[in-house]
A and B are shown apart, each in its own frame.
Chain A
């Protein structure tokens, strides 16, 4: 393996296409100076996704998952102040030229948004919106795309405006738009939360089968651990804008190390297995303005000590080298 330097990448990783991850988020901080002042709403987040890999980002609502997804696609609102780097295919997204960025958006990264109703233009037919994106370069026609996301009666759907479609149909149209330019990475931002439970399942299955057939990398953002376990090979757990734990999904679900992951898992299991009492984590995620210094979970954590007032760094955990943890007092170790 040759290490080439000076290729424009701001950190010292090999720029070799075979080894560089498709998406590399390093030390990413996002602030909204007008609304939250100096509080980092995303605080030094590190995440990599390799080509063809399915990575889940989980956490409660308000923990910055969606923000991470938008930052990765370089779609943050103008009011956001960003530090750190997001590199796509070895290239710093924020240093890209306008043309490179347009190419990266859509052809590099496709995004499936949470709310399909507002994410589609109410004044344009679904077909017009899909055609507009396909025109920028696509391997398939709009009709083929609609068929590939499991929509029958494509002719009607092409003509229909978003309000004339059902929630599930809208979400599929949105997926078709995200896939239109054959992206290498798809960021799915809670694509099922706005849907009925039965349709949720269909959409997740659709995403999984599309991922297999088209072989794109998938960043699946969700609060639903059960869903994630079916889909993702790797999982990153976020809390209040910080990445607290990451590693192989099966491993994390079997042996959570961070108290937050453990709590999340327990509450979701108590639901699935109909425990007599619902396990829950006390309290709720604080508003960004009230984020604690140090470990942001410490006010809800049973293991917290004075040490937690300092921020634990995300470090390799264990010997296998594939798990990362940011905690001084992990679950499953005697202190």
Chain B
């Protein structure tokens, strides 16, 4: 009965193809939203470029030259055409193009998010599994309480407290700024660890709770008793038999939290003065640099769609039954 295997595989392929077709459509929708929202904002690019003292005639000429007076669908089509060719336009304030600006900022945000995810996932795994195994006893309660506090605490406040404590009071870490990896691992690490930890905290707290619930749920299942009753050692049962099933839910949740991590990065980069995508976006908004705002939003959305696609594929790998369902 080979069809059991092949149906899972064709399901898998069909799912991937469908998601790959869907992704550009989602991005088109996002582009439209971003375009319209930015367009509706009271920022006037002509004023941003020409300065406060430019007169109405100069602004009108600027608008005509840059096609700002064209109807919205025309401008949107032009924008989409540019984006499709990876041309995100010019910054009206700074000499670099939006591509260049994002090229500088994007790696920093990626480093920040990767480090934060690493910290969050490792600590959540350790704490969540410990809590699940000690269900109802004091370590479980301590971990649960701490997780609830850190999940609820506002991130900008945690960030400021962190700087106050580690940079101002103890002087262990810089209070902000970015040191590129070329400047040496220690400098780079001490500039990244603070923002990464602050960014990771609510994420780690939420993941800890999800992992705890899901592992505890799984440990109570009959098949655990079957394996233990056959003499399989407890740690083997946990790692080989339980975790694989227990991590399906946390992995789907991970995809959702990456979105929160992105919005968290905007705050944390601002608090720690890291020149990443978040800072770029915030200064872009402040300076009325619409091209930059649009560029960051589009790149962020594309990254989010991509990450979720990867997460969904991971989910299918862990849970082959859903591949059959997904392919239908």
User: Closest chain A residue to B321 by CB distance?
Assistant: A163
Cβ contact within 8 Å between A106 and B221: no
Cβ contact within 8 Å between A102 and B231: yes
Q: Which residues of A contact B223 (CB under 8 A)?
A: 118-122
In the complex, whether B21 has a CB less than 8 A from a CB of chain A is no
Cβ contact within 8 Å between B318 and A159: no
Cβ contact within 8 Å between A111 and B5: no
Cβ contact within 8 Å between A181 and B240: no
User: Closest chain A residue to B242 by CB distance?
Assistant: A121
Q: Which residues of B contact A124 (CB under 8 A)?
A: 241, 244
Q: Which of B229, B241, B320 contacts A106 (CB 8 A)?
A: B229
Cβ contact within 8 Å between B321 and A161: yes
Cβ contact within 8 Å between B318 and A132: no
Cβ contact within 8 Å between B231 and A105: yes
| B85, chain A: closest CB distance, angstroms | 45
In the complex, whether B1 has a CB less than 8 A from a CB of chain A is yes
Q: Which residues of B contact A107 (CB under 8 A)?
A: 231
Cβ contact within 8 Å between A118 and B221: yes
User: Closest chain B residue to A132 by CB distance?
Assistant: B232
- Segment 255-299 of A: residues with Cβ below 8 Å from B: none
In the complex, whether B13 has a CB less than 8 A from a CB of chain A is no
- Sort chain A's interface into a size bin: 35 or more
> Digit string of B268-299 for contact with A (CB within 8 Å is 1, else 0)?
00000000000000000000000000000000
Give chain B's interface secondary structure class. helix
Q: Which of B222, B230, B318, B319 contacts A110 (CB 8 A)?
A: B230
Cβ contact within 8 Å between A123 and B245: yes
With A and B bound together, what is the CA distance between A181 and B226 in angstroms? 13
User: Closest chain B residue to A121 by CB distance?
Assistant: B223
> Digit string of B146-174 for contact with A (CB within 8 Å is 1, else 0)?
00000000000000000000000000000
Cβ contact within 8 Å between A181 and B320: no
Q: Which residues of A contact B321 (CB under 8 A)?
A: 122, 161, 163
Q: How many A-B residue pairs have CB under 8 A?
A: 82
With A and B bound together, what is the CA distance between A183 and B1 in angstroms? 33
With A and B bound together, what is the CA distance between A119 and B4 in angstroms? 22
In the complex, whether B42 has a CB less than 8 A from a CB of chain A is no
Cβ contact within 8 Å between B5 and A159: yes
In the complex, whether A164 has a CB less than 8 A from a CB of chain B is yes
B residues contacting the other copy or chain, number (CB 8 A):
24
Cβ contact within 8 Å between B320 and A105: no
Which of B225, B226, B233 has the most C-beta atoms of chain A within 10 angstroms of its own C-beta?
Answer: B226
With A and B bound together, what is the CA distance between A181 and B230 in angstroms? 8
With A and B bound together, what is the CA distance between A110 and B321 in angstroms? 30
User: Closest chain A residue to B233 by CB distance?
Assistant: A102
> Digit string of B207-245 for contact with A (CB within 8 Å is 1, else 0)?
000000000000001110111111111001000110011
Which of B225, B233, B236, B244 has the most C-beta atoms of chain A within 10 angstroms of its own C-beta?
Answer: B225
Q: A121-B241, A156-B1, A159-B5 are in contact. Are A113 and B226 (CB under 8 A)?
A: yes
Cβ contact within 8 Å between A133 and B222: no
Q: Which residues of B contact A159 (CB under 8 A)?
A: 4-5
Q: A118-B221, A132-B240, A163-B321 are in contact. Are A103 and B226 (CB under 8 A)?
A: no
Q: Which of B226, B244, B319 contacts A119 (CB 8 A)?
A: B226
Q: A118-B221, A161-B320 are in contact. Are A133 and B230 (CB under 8 A)?
A: yes
> Digit string of A81-113 for contact with B (CB within 8 Å is 1, else 0)?
000000000000000000000111111011101
| B285, chain A: closest CB distance, angstroms | 46
Q: Which residues of B contact A153 (CB under 8 A)?
A: 1
Of A9-17, A172-180, A228-236, A319-327, the segment with at least 4 beta carbons within 8 Å of chain B is A172-180
| B70, chain A: closest CB distance, angstroms | 56
* Chain A interface residues toward B at CB < 8 A: 73, 75, 102-107, 109-111, 113, 115, 118-124, 129, 132-133, 136, 153, 156, 159-161, 163-164, 174, 177-178, 180-181
Across the A-B interface, give the 4 residue pairs with the lowest CB-CB distance, nearest first: A106-B231, A118-B222, A106-B230, A121-B223
Beyond A102-B231, A105-B229, A129-B241, list 16 extra A-B contacts (CB 8 Å): A75-B225, A103-B231, A105-B231, A106-B231, A115-B222, A123-B245, A123-B318, A132-B241, A156-B4, A159-B4, A160-B4, A163-B321, A164-B4, A174-B226, A177-B226, A180-B230
A-B contact pairs, 12 of them (CB 8 A): A104-B231, A113-B222, A118-B222, A118-B223, A119-B222, A121-B245, A123-B244, A129-B227, A133-B227, A133-B230, A156-B4, A181-B231
